[in-house]
Structure 1
Amino acid sequence: MNKLLLTLSSMLVASATAFSAHAQEAKGDAKAGEGKVAMCIGCHGIHGYQASFPEIYRVPMISGQNAKFIASALNAYKKGERKHPSMRAIAESLSDQDIADVSAYYEGHGKGAAAAPAKAPSPSAKVAELLNKGGCVACHGDNFNKPIDPSYPKVGGQPADYLFVALKSYKTEGNATWGRANGIMGGIAKQFSNAELKELAGYVSSLPGELKTVPQSRFR
């Protein structure tokens, strides 16, 4: 376990350093980003909205997500490291400045007075064992909402079906339209069966989270 955490830490430092160098190229402007999110609202601005590819699942909440992670994800779709036809088409339409602005907008979107933190449920013995095996807290932090680097996502409270599909995508190889190329997450996800990934997704979804879906209109 210690060896796994040491390896993860080394990879995280390298990844964060590389991302930081890229992020310095464009500084996000949340106000400018407000005028660039029309293509995001149709999915991420509707409570309970479900995607249908590669299967039916609720889309992730992105209001309150780390700006650096949103930018990292969009750039991964743009480069084809994350494969999803709709998201790649959207990402390819955005300049580096657009991505920085949209990311800055969503990081602050929906933030208001801080609510009292809810008590996190304890995992079952089986889930605790799976979490320990994957070293999940080492990256995503307390309640899966305090990642060790802002280029990593908050995931606590995200829809369970989304988390399950996302985790499975890291195991997918050789598919032209679906999958995520990420050495860290790929190595972790491949340790688990899909049934185990579903259990992990269910627990992480049950945690109190900071992310929201804030209803938005295309005609503002």
Structure 2
Amino acid sequence: MNKLFTTIFALAVSLATAAAHSQDIKGDVKAGEAKNAMCIGCHGIKGYQASFPEVYKVPMISGQSGKYIAAALQAYKKGDRKHPTMRGIAESLNDQDIADLSAYYEQHGVNAAAAPAARTAKTPSPAVAALLAKANCASCHGADFSKPIDPSYAKLGGQHADYLFVALKAYKVENNPKVGRSNAIMAGMAKQYTNAELKQLANYLASVEGDLKVIPQSKFR
């Protein structure tokens, strides 16, 4: 356990350093809207499914934290996330492009003038509650899984269950050139679970009300 906490601390320091370095780059929402042609073909179609490494719905990114989107794109660009299509897209983006797209999708579909919607907390079954407690998921992703303690962590509430399952399994993969996610914290968490348990977690998180949406792109731009 001490080794895991040491790893977590080292990664946190690394993330803080990277965040400080990137603060000079400010995202522009309008610029992001003009740059999202490669995004809308998958993330702007309700029910759209990817087929690698298995069939699953592509994640909802409208309403996701901008800092998380930026961190994810940088991870694909560096190869820490190994999905070939997403890596190819991320490699075509510079840091300003990533900042602009992240700023755009963070506010996409968000009505800033509207009062926050009231949500009914969904109580997990005792079995799922035990699984959530095992890795203390809420300690990072927030009590309702939509208010993470750091904006570079993902909002999970309401995300597609099949995508969450594939993503969680990816943290357990090692030594595969095309599949896997290199994140010491999440790998340590995910490896505590069987795939059947990860599916239970994914199904519960998908059932929780959240901020994430799929917003179809207008035919006219």
Could you say if the C-alpha distance between residues 206 and 5 of structure 1 is closer, same or farther in structure 2, counting changes exceeding 3 Å?
farther
Instruction: Decide whether the 8 Å contact of 2:32 with 2:101 is kept in 1.
Output: yes
Matched, 1:157 2:158: yes
5 Å-filtered alignment, 1:104-143, equals 104-112=103-111, 113-143=114-144
Report the counterpart of residue 189 of structure 2 in structure 1. Answer: 188
Cα pair distance change 1:72/1:152, threshold 3 Å: same
Letter in 1 for 2:153: Y
Cα displacement string for residues 41-91 of structure 1 (whole angstroms, at most 9, x for unaligned residues): 000001111100000000111001111110000000000000011100100
% same residue: 64
Alignment of 1:38-49 (within 5 A): 38-49=37-48
Structure 1 residues 193 and 120: CA distance shift in structure 2, 3 A: same
Q: 1-side partners of 2:109 and 2:24: how far apart?
A: 27
Name the residue aligned to 1:71. Answer: 70
Give the drift of 1:13: 3.8
Q: In the alignment, which residue of structure 2 is the partner of 1:202?
A: 203
Letter in 1 for 2:31: A
Quote the RMSD (CA, aligned, Å).
1.9
Aligned length: 219
- Tell whether the 8 Å contact from 2:11 to 2:184 is kept in structure 1 after alignment: no
CA distance in 2, matches of 1:13, 1:114: 33
Separation in 1 of the partners of 2:49 and 2:21?
A: 32
Residue in structure 2 matched with residue 212 of structure 1 by the alignment: 213
**Contact 1:5 1:135 (8 Å CA) reproduced:** no
Kindly report structure 1 stretches of 4+ aligned residues shifted beyond 3 Å: 3-13
CA distance in 2, matches of 1:176, 1:53: 13
| Alpha-carbon distance, 1:24 to partner | 1.7
Unaligned runs of 5+ in 1: none
1:20 partner amino acid: A
Match of 2:57 in 1: 58
If the length of structure 2 is used for normalisation, what is the TM-score?
A: 0.93
8 Å contact kept, 2:8–2:185: no
Compared with structure 1, are the counterparts of its residues 60 and 114 closer, same or farther at alpha carbon in structure 2 (3 Å cutoff)?
farther
Q: Distance in 1 between matches of 2:167 and 2:190?
A: 10
